[in-house]
Amino acid sequence: MKRTRIKRNRSKYPGMVRLIARQRWAAQHPTCWVCCYQFGDHLPEPGARWQEIHEIVRRSHAAGQWAIPENYFSTCDVCHAAILASMPLAEQLAYKFLHDRANYNRVLLLDIKGLAETAVTEKEVGFALEQITESEIFKPTEGQRVAGRLFKEASILSGKLPDNERHRFWTLIYYRVAEALHWNVPDRE
């Protein structure tokens, strides 16, 4: 009996597809999330900073799962070398929530890293978010200030809710934050 091979729908260049997706994501986030340095569309001048995409979960810890938008963090070369190496995970997640809410997923990143869901809680992320928005470097918009306060209060309140109510609660908070930041999100049902 002759075996037939099943052709799989794989890209001939899977690494190139991931690279292009990563470059598109970087183009949507043209600012260093830490120092707010704005990257231009032109070639940088000598001595200028350039954009780097930091992986929140390192490639060595992600086993092929690192190339996803949920894991990307936009930074300049200076902040990447000097600050991100020692930045706690809760703080990196707070920056992710603040600048790329559409791809924020704390539970997924903890799972990829092999950590329990309680290793970094929403409360810790909320505290880090409060620290960031109160820093002198960060110049938040009014919407970001409101979102930070909502997130902080929500992280405290969610600890008092039963497990079966938390998902609905966080969905409500998401819509309130989206409203404060003027995001286009689908209507609630």
Domain contains 28: yes
Structural domains counted in the chain: 1
User: What is the rounded average pLDDT for all residues in the chain?
Assistant: 76
Regarding predicted confidence, which is higher, 118 or 18?
118
The predicted structure's pLDDT at residue 8: 45
Which residue range is the domain that position 55 belongs to? Answer: 14-115
Reduced to 3 states, what is the DSSP secondary structure of residue 53?
A: strand
Q: Is the pTM here over 0.85, yes or no?
A: no
Domain contains 70: yes
Domain contains 132: no
The predicted structure's pLDDT at residue 6: 45
Domain contains 2: no
The predicted structure's pLDDT at residue 88: 92
Domain contains 86: yes
Domain contains 83: yes
State the virtual CA torsion across 175, 180, 186, 189 in degrees, nearest 10: 40
Domain contains 170: no
- Render pLDDT for 40-56 as a digit per residue (tens, 0 to 9): 765 556 667 788 899 89
Residue 89's pLDDT band (boundaries 50, 70, 90)? very high
Q: What is the DSSP string of 100-151?
A: -GGG--HHHHHHHHT--TTSS-HHHHHHHHHHHHTSSS----HHHHHHHHHH
The predicted structure's pLDDT at residue 174: 66
Residue 72's pLDDT band (boundaries 50, 70, 90)? very high
- Render pLDDT for 102-134 as a digit per residue (tens, 0 to 9): 899 999 999 888 889 899 998 899 888 888 877
Residue 31's pLDDT band (boundaries 50, 70, 90)? confident
147 and 128 in contact (C-beta within 8 Å)?
A: no
Q: What is the DSSP string of 69-112?
A: GGGEEEEEHHHHHHTGGG--HHHHHHHHHHH-GGG--HHHHHHH
36 has pLDDT over 60:
yes
Reduced to 3 states, what is the DSSP secondary structure of residue 187?
A: coil
Domain contains 88: yes
74 has pLDDT over 90:
yes
The predicted structure's pLDDT at residue 119: 92
